[in-house]
Structure 1
Amino acid sequence: MNLLITEQAGITRITLNRPNEGNLLQLDDLRELAAAVTAAGAGENARAIVLAATGPDFCRGRGAGPASATKPTAVQMRSRVIDPILAAYRAIYDSPVPVIAAVQGPALGFGCAIASACDVLIASDRARFSLPEMEKNLPPTLAMSAHLRRVAPKMTAYLVLSLAEIDAKRAAETGLASMVVPHESFAQAIDELTATIASRQPVALRAIKEYLRSAPYMESRGAADFGANLLASVLSSQ
């Protein structure tokens, strides 16, 4: 298994565990990741999910699979390669509880996208971010979809077109990262955040995630009414 999964006090930690290969993810790993995120959010007492990694790299992207003897059709490419990637993104979006990316090192390509898809991104000052797919003339439209409503479109366009690798400070300045902490205190920062979340009621945390997921697609009045309904539901349950 290339994922390590632990749970304590309603906090599930899913850790990418292929450090000798930069935590590159194969298609089977993506399916496993999507299933793990979905399962972690399904528990009645689930409060949050932390996506982390072992070794110096968070995730250097998607690993190259075995070469095909024949060129796949567009339909085959969609089902074999694209759908597992989208399933990983959607598992995070659809999770009923917040998902936190704990990025301790380089997050490149798919690694950058999956971290961006999370609701909160805590970065070590050793973290780096890039979308380098255009080096091979591959438009990273799937990764770009993970950035929607998470990162300013102009920043996403810059990362894609320039092939630049930005540091954690720049990522925080542009909204890609929620906060940056010194690497020496990175683990402590994650523990402190998860301890705070673990002390909150699941119903309140689920309301926050539902609002984060849905409100950005609403006009302002609808978003306010949606928030009011969520709050009323939480208050009536306490």
Structure 2
Amino acid sequence: MSSWNPAAARTLRVETDDPGNGSGAVAVLTMDTPGKLNAMGREFWPELRDTLAHLASDGRTRAVIITGAGDRAFSAGGDIASFADLTDVVAKREFQQDCMRTFAAVEESPLPIIAAVNGFALGGGCELALACDVVVAAETATFGMPECAVGLVPGFGVLRAPAVIGRHWTKLMMFGGERVDADTALRIGLAQKVVPAAELMPAARALAGRFAAMAPLAVASGKNLVNRGVDRGEFDHSTAALTTLHATADAAEGIAAFLGKRAPRFEGR
């Protein structure tokens, strides 16, 4: 097992396991801010893109696993405190575009990417799982898209979740803040495998090893063909909607209420 980190990395831990048996290497990317439940700050998004680009070009990596540090969370989503720092419309739009570029990088990577969900996958964490090719969940995993509670919507999840879990489950999770346990996630297609928590990484590694043993050009081509219906133009509509929502009084109230650990008082403006 070897490790690699880009010079500026602050939130990702990257380890590569090369079995040396003719199969390609498997890289494990760990979101590594467990004290914040692996919340995604602004530095996370370019770090993940850069890491995936490096792995796709290193000539030996054939599969990727993304997971979270600790046993409580895959990722609890975007770092809400960092949203409060977005003070003008240009910064809000650029932030949304940065997130979308990263989700696109996961979808467009020629490498098969497995989400090993080890706890809470909320907001951006749930969206990242949706961007991955396969989701392996621990029995303790919980999925949710609670952005409406802070006056926002899951910009990527609102585009991808309907194709994965259906429009009505997407609406229930968005409008009602419905949290989905691992068994329900398996039933509705949000997860493809559910295993005991202690078996999560062995199961993810075994699956990644199977992917890594396949012909890499065939895997890359197959992934591209499966995703051929993905419409990148939707990202512009989502970014515009989120930029508008970020500027509302309700979003400011939702973020302030979250940080103040109180119930928000929304007024529809």
Q: Same fold (TM over 0.5)?
A: yes
Residue 74 of structure 2 aligns to a residue in which SS?
Answer: coil
1:72 maps to which residue?
Answer: 88
Distance 1:101 1:66, change over 3 A: closer
1:147 maps to which residue?
Answer: 161
Query: For residues 24-54 of structure 1, what are the alpha-carbon distances to aligned partners after superposition, in whole Å with 9 as ceiling and x for unaligned?
Result: 1101111111221222223333311111111
C-alpha displacement of 1:106: 0.7
Residue 202 of structure 2 aligns to a residue in which SS?
Answer: helix
Inter-partner Cα distance in structure 1 for 2:108 and 2:16 = 19
C-alpha displacement of 1:199: 2.0
Query: For residues 113-137 of structure 1, what are the alpha-carbon distances to aligned partners after superposition, in whole Å with 9 as ceiling and x for unaligned?
Result: 1011111000000000011111122
1:57 maps to which residue?
Answer: 73
Inter-partner Cα distance in structure 2 for 1:118 and 1:166 = 18
Aligned residues: 214
Inter-partner Cα distance in structure 2 for 1:117 and 1:5 = 19
Inter-partner Cα distance in structure 2 for 1:124 and 1:2 = 22
Inter-partner Cα distance in structure 2 for 1:67 and 1:163 = 21
Inter-partner Cα distance in structure 1 for 2:106 and 2:100 = 10
Moved over 6 A (4+): none
Checking the alignment, whether the CA contact within 8 Å between 2:134 and 2:191 is kept in structure 1 is yes
C-alpha displacement of 1:161: 1.0
Alignment partner of 1:5 is 2:21: no
Alignment of 1:152-163 (within 5 A): 152-163=166-177
C-alpha displacement of 1:21: 1.1
Query: For residues 145-171 of structure 1, what are the alpha-carbon distances to aligned partners after superposition, in whole Å with 9 as ceiling and x for unaligned?
Result: 242533322211110011111101001
Inter-partner Cα distance in structure 2 for 1:212 and 1:77 = 32
RMSD, aligned CA: 1.9
Residue 140 of structure 2 aligns to a residue in which SS?
Answer: coil
C-alpha displacement of 1:108: 0.4
1:224 maps to which residue?
Answer: none
Inter-partner Cα distance in structure 2 for 1:201 and 1:142 = 30
2:4 maps to which residue?
Answer: none
Q: Which of these residues, 204, 227, 238, is aligned with residue 213 of structure 1? A: 227
**Tell me, which stretches of 5 or more residues in structure 2 are unaligned?**
1-9, 19-24, 232-269
Residue 214 of structure 1 aligns to a residue in which SS?
Answer: coil
1:30 corresponds to which letter in structure 2? W
Q: What is the percent sequence identity of the aligned residues?
A: 27
2:6 maps to which residue?
Answer: none
Residue 58 of structure 1 aligns to a residue in which SS?
Answer: strand
2:161 corresponds to which letter in structure 1? H
C-alpha displacement of 1:8: 2.5
Checking the alignment, whether the CA contact within 8 Å between 2:62 and 2:111 is kept in structure 1 is yes
2:197 maps to which residue?
Answer: 183
Residue 49 of structure 1 aligns to a residue in which SS?
Answer: strand
Inter-partner Cα distance in structure 1 for 2:100 and 2:229 = 21
2:130 maps to which residue?
Answer: 116
Checking the alignment, whether the CA contact within 8 Å between 1:41 and 1:48 is kept in structure 2 is no
Inter-partner Cα distance in structure 2 for 1:66 and 1:144 = 19
2:208 corresponds to which letter in structure 1? T
